[in-house]
Structure 1
Amino acid sequence: MKKYTYNTEVRQQLDIILKRSESDQQDVRTTVLDIIDRVKSEGDRALKDYEEKFDHCKLDSLKVTPEEIDRAFSETDPALIETIKRSAENIRNFHEHQKETTWTIHPKDGITLGQHITPIDRVGVYVPGGKAAYPSTVLMDTIPAVVAGVDTIVMVTPPDASGNINQNILCAAKIAGVTEIYKVGGAQAIAALAYGTETIAPVNKIVGPGNIFVATAKKEVFGKVAIDMIAGPSEVCVVADSTANPVYIAADLLSQAEHDEMAMPVLVTTDDKLADQVIAEIDRQIDTDLRRKAIAKASVTDHGFVFVCDNLDDAFELTNQIAPEHLELAIDNSEKYLDCVRNAGAIFLGMYSPEPLGDYYAGPNHTLPTSGTAKFSSPLGVYDFIKRSSIIQYDRDNLKAAADDITAFAYSEGLDAHAKSIERRFSNDA
């Protein structure tokens, strides 16, 4: 990990240090646009061809059958199924508190204003395959939609070379409430969700993480459908003082490093000795029996950072500039510093609230803003799966009282028909 003293020079060069500048992705975009165009014109045939090309799988049918789901349950460890159910219940309970309902106000007699809340009709959930299968992502991206009242939830995920979907993913999908499941991944899956094929009906919104081709496809179909966010590599930032345990911190940093070679583990500390202890502990832990050791080592080496600050004020200034996906406060009386955090996807307070608790079990969503976008965006939630319609009702007397103001506005903007829409209602009044 690269170690820095947080000073004026680092403040000015932070974006360069963190390598967050956008790279040229024109080649990826060209490939994605070609895939989208072919799916639009050829439908299912294009999807099957791309699955054979990219996932080395020859498919007769794209849709997962009930028998395949039943088989997944019969072949999955019952203890894991119960774990998934407990996690799902925690996620559901948390997201129930995010529900919104239609409301109205009555500023005066004869006037009703408000908001009408309705769920999105059809939502597509992309679940990655490839390097790893994440049933937790199925729960996190599906359950808020179920709580919101979405009628149809369509899941797409790439199959293996035998044409099968990971059984843990299928179990999680059934438990979470997914309506339809299709064996298709990559940019072609995003195109199918946005534009539809003979088998897959189009959706209104697409959520879920994926590789650079999936992220680019989501950018390209935005406007035809809504999307949740453009997810970048995973991040964790730990703010620690001298009371923190370096063994715990190293373990938490590695828990993000193993996601991806591009993942970014960051330590911000007021204790230079602790910084060195954590670096040494990472070196020790990374050489234990981690199955994804090579990935974690690449992440730590290329994208791992340690910043030593003079005080906690500087530490929070730095973390608010980073705006991390996950922020752990490994400091004494951590809850007292919550108001110091302005930009973070999820905040973990104290030494016994590690980031994996949020990934799997606690209940808050783990689909979070990355790459500094926590400065302006929020975790996935029930609010992402609803629409708000304004309610406006005036009776005749109240409209007449407001008529002069409305027509004055309309005429000032050169919109005569707007004004006459009001005036004609009262043209016969004495």
Structure 2
Amino acid sequence: ERTVLATGAVVEQRWQPVGRVGLYVPGGKAVYPSSVVMNVVPAQVAGVRSIALASPAQAAHAGRIHPTIAGVAALLGIDEVYAMGGAGAIGAFAHGVPELGLEPVQRVTGPGNVFVAAAKRVVQGVTGIDAEAGPTDILVIADDAADADFVASDLVSQAEHDELAAAVLVTDSAEFAERVLERLVVRATETRHSERIRAALDGAQSAVVLVDDLEQAADFANAFGAEHLEIQVRDADAVLAGIENAGAIFIGPYSPVSLGDYAAGSNHVLPTGGQSRHAAGLSAATFLRPQQVVRYDEEALREVAPVIATLSEEEDLPAHGEAVTARFGERR
């Protein structure tokens, strides 16, 4: 991007990739080859030169990372891979581990549990992060035109991740809420990780919220700042127009969060815990920094010299102005 402010006065903005990143792929309660793809591909598209990846060591695989994770990393050309997990992995990326030949990184990305999210908060200032992607959450805005079983299955799908996962339904219909609760019991009971799911659904972080109307539902969603926001109502675009804060938004009955987790083409590394109020999901932009490049020639600088002198005097920083006037024959 190039802006010509006057003859001989040009400011350019270029996008420069960070040189080295550390990508975290969780592996405690599940195996996440999809998270390898979601982390690595945007970094490669951005042009990052050096990519390191970490995933927890697996007792079932002789202390190595899960072979599926290793295989996907190899397919993507990543050959710097560490069997380490949790908060320790984030700290290792930020500070480096000379004994392992692990050099510090400029940015750490990737989802994890509450300890990974907390560690990413701690290392900010030492290294950059994408967002605090901790225990997952889903918020579904639905009216009585939605399919209760679809909504229930989507809530269960995210509760499956972790006992601390948040599953929230926001609706303007008490009768519809009851139907969803009935289907939740069935869905949570019949699926494989039912104990974990029930713990998440019964936790204080999960809820059914009754509102007066869908405008109030949008207000609630904005205050909540969901990682995943589904809108399953008659007029989805009207509700979408009122949404400001969400990591990713899924519109209609055939756009479940699971689609975004695996195959939509969007990224599933998203801000959790209300972080979407000020943070965005992972993308190539996460690994890029805008840099402004200033090019003025002598006449262009001479033109703005009086402005600089006036402002520098007003701010009691005279050397700032003197750095300009020195170029035009004024010497002390």
Q: What TM-score does the superposition give when structure 2 sets the normalisation length?
A: 0.94
1:327-342 map, 5 Å = 327-342=229-244
1:116-195 map, 5 Å = 116-161=14-59, 162-195=62-95
1:290-329 CA-partner distances (Å, limit 9, x unpaired) = 2211110001111321112222112212222212111111
Distance 2:104 2:183 in 1: 49
Q: Is the 8 A contact 1:258 1:296 kept in 2?
A: yes
Distance 2:29 2:268 in 1: 19
Q: Is the 8 A contact 2:114 2:135 kept in 1?
A: no
Residue 204 of structure 1 aligns to which amino acid in structure 2? Q
Match of 2:201 among 285, 297, 300: 300
Residue 138 of structure 1 aligns to which amino acid in structure 2? V
Shift of residue 245, structure 1, vs aligned partner: 0.7
Distance 2:21 2:63 in 1: 24
Query: Bigger shift: 208-217 or 366-375?
Result: 208-217
Identity over the aligned pairs, expressed in percent? 40
Q: Does 1:365 align with 2:263?
A: no
Q: Does 1:291 align with 2:192?
A: yes
Match of 1:113 in 2: 11
Match of 1:277 among 179, 183, 195: 179
Q: Is the 8 A contact 1:152 1:179 kept in 2?
A: no
Match of 1:246 in 2: 148
Shift of residue 344, structure 1, vs aligned partner: 1.0
1:150-189 CA-partner distances (Å, limit 9, x unpaired) = 0111001121121222122112222344341111222322
Residue 228 of structure 2 aligns to which amino acid in structure 1? H
Q: Does 1:231 align with 2:129?
A: no
Distance 1:225 1:179 in 2: 22
Match of 1:263 in 2: 165
Distance 1:177 1:361 in 2: 21
1:247-277 CA-partner distances (Å, limit 9, x unpaired) = 1111000001111111111111122111101
Distance 1:210 1:313 in 2: 33
Distance 1:283 1:244 in 2: 18
Distance 2:330 2:25 in 1: 62
Distance 1:247 1:184 in 2: 39
Residue 41 of structure 2 aligns to which amino acid in structure 1? I
Q: Does 1:408 align with 2:310?
A: yes
Q: Is the 8 A contact 1:143 1:177 kept in 2?
A: no
Provide closer, same or farther for how the CA distance between residues 167 and 105 of structure 1 changes in structure 2, counting only shifts above 3 A.
same
Distance 1:218 1:337 in 2: 33
Residue 312 of structure 1 aligns to which amino acid in structure 2? L
1:22-41 map, 5 Å = none
Residue 11 of structure 2 aligns to which amino acid in structure 1? L
Distance 1:187 1:284 in 2: 36
Match of 2:295 in 1: 393
Q: What TM-score does the superposition give when structure 1 sets the normalisation length?
A: 0.73
SS at match of 1:261: coil
Residue 206 of structure 1 aligns to which amino acid in structure 2? V
Q: How many residues align?
A: 326
Distance 2:58 2:200 in 1: 26
Shift of residue 400, structure 1, vs aligned partner: 0.8
Distance 1:212 1:313 in 2: 32
**Higher normalized helix content (fraction of residues):** 1
**Higher normalized strand content (fraction of residues):** 2
Distance 2:116 2:277 in 1: 23
Q: Does 1:104 align with 2:2?
A: yes
Residue 165 of structure 2 aligns to which amino acid in structure 1? A
Match of 1:312 among 205, 214, 217: 214
Q: Is the 8 A contact 2:131 2:280 kept in 1?
A: no
Residue 174 of structure 1 aligns to which amino acid in structure 2? A
1:2-29 CA-partner distances (Å, limit 9, x unpaired) = xxxxxxxxxxxxxxxxxxxxxxxxxxxx
Q: Is the 8 A contact 1:141 1:367 kept in 2?
A: yes
Provide closer, same or farther for how the CA distance between residues 235 and 276 of structure 1 changes in structure 2, counting only shifts above 3 A.
same
Query: Bigger shift: 348-357 or 298-307?
Result: 298-307
Distance 1:159 1:287 in 2: 31
Provide closer, same or farther for how the CA distance between residues 179 and 111 of structure 1 changes in structure 2, counting only shifts above 3 A.
farther
1:200-219 map, 5 Å = 200-219=102-121
Shift of residue 231, structure 1, vs aligned partner: 2.3
Query: Bigger shift: 197-206 or 177-186?
Result: 177-186
Shift of residue 279, structure 1, vs aligned partner: 0.3
Q: List gaps (5 residues or longer) in structure 2.
A: none
